């Protein structure tokens, strides 16, 4: 009967009303910590911005701050160490399982267990290389950010050939 604009359904020609974003301070230790934690677990800037209800540009500015980068590096180190210790425990269990299968004379079971052990050992080796700073992809990305794409490609090629960069 007596429809008000709030109750009416927008026609296909009308654009739906956008929610207004509430202004929240984009700086401060709480926002910086939240951005650092989300980035450390691998979320991209758009996802972080959406979850914190801030703009992507703000996330980018926060990530450029040196102390935030140091926080992210420390968090990444903690994550790597936790994953490595977990992988080491898993390796010991898998080796025990492989030994049991060999003792039982189960060729198929021992083969599967050894494949699992091999997979865990390879992931441990990759983790140790990354911890030592031997991750060529990270260096290449840093070089690209610095603007030297030739150095980025050259460092990566040298890394693959075993020459080091």
**Residue 28 Ramachandran class (φ > 0 left, ψ -120 to 50 alpha, else beta):** left
Closest by CA position to 68, among listed 120, 116, 30, 111: 30
Q: What is the pTM of this model?
A: 0.48
Does the residue 94 lie in any domain?
yes
The structure tokens 């590096």 sit at 73
Residues 6+ apart with CB under 8 A from 80: 127, 130, 131
Structure-block tokens of residue 98:
């492989």
User: What's the pLDDT at 65?
Assistant: 92
Note whether 59 and 97 are same-domain residues: no
User: What's the pLDDT at 43?
Assistant: 92
Number of domains the chain is built from: 2
Instruction: Tell me the residue range of the domain where 112 lies.
Output: 79-134
Does the residue 89 lie in any domain?
yes
User: What's the pLDDT at 96?
Assistant: 87
Does the residue 10 lie in any domain?
no
CATH number for the domain harbouring residue 53 = 1.10.10
3-class SS of residue 110: helix
Last residue of a domain, one of 40, 64, 88: 64
Does the residue 72 lie in any domain?
no
Does the residue 71 lie in any domain?
no
Does the residue 1 lie in any domain?
no
Does the residue 95 lie in any domain?
yes
Last residue of a domain, one of 34, 64, 94: 64
Does the residue 115 lie in any domain?
yes
Give, for all 165 residues of the chain, the pLDDT tens digit. 555 555 556 666 666 677 666 655 556 889 999 999 999 988 999 999 999 989 999 999 999 999 999 999 999 888 888 888 888 888 888 888 888 888 898 888 888 888 888 887 787 777 666 555 544 444 555 555 555 444 444 554 555 555 544
């Amino acid at each position: 009967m007596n429809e008000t604009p709030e109750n009416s359904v927008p026609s296909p020609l009308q654009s739906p009303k956008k929610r207004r974003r509430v202004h929240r301070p984009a700086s401060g230790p709480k926002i910086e910590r939240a951005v650092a934690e989300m980035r450390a677990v691998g979320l991209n800037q758009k996802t972080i911005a959406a979850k914190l209800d801030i703009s992507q540009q703000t996330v980018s500015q926060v990530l450029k701050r040196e102390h935030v980068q140091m926080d992210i590096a420390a968090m990444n180190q903690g994550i790597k160490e936790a994953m490595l210790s977990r992988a080491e425990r898993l390796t010991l269990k898998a080796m025990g399982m492989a030994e049991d299968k060999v003792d039982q004379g189960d060729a198929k079971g021992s083969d599967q267990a050894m494949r699992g052990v091999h997979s865990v050992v390879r992931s441990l080796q990759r983790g140790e290389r990354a911890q030592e700073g031997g991750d060529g992809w990270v260096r290449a990305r840093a070089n690209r950010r610095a603007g030297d794409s030739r150095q980025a490609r050259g460092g990566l090629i040298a890394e693959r050939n075993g020459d080091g960069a």
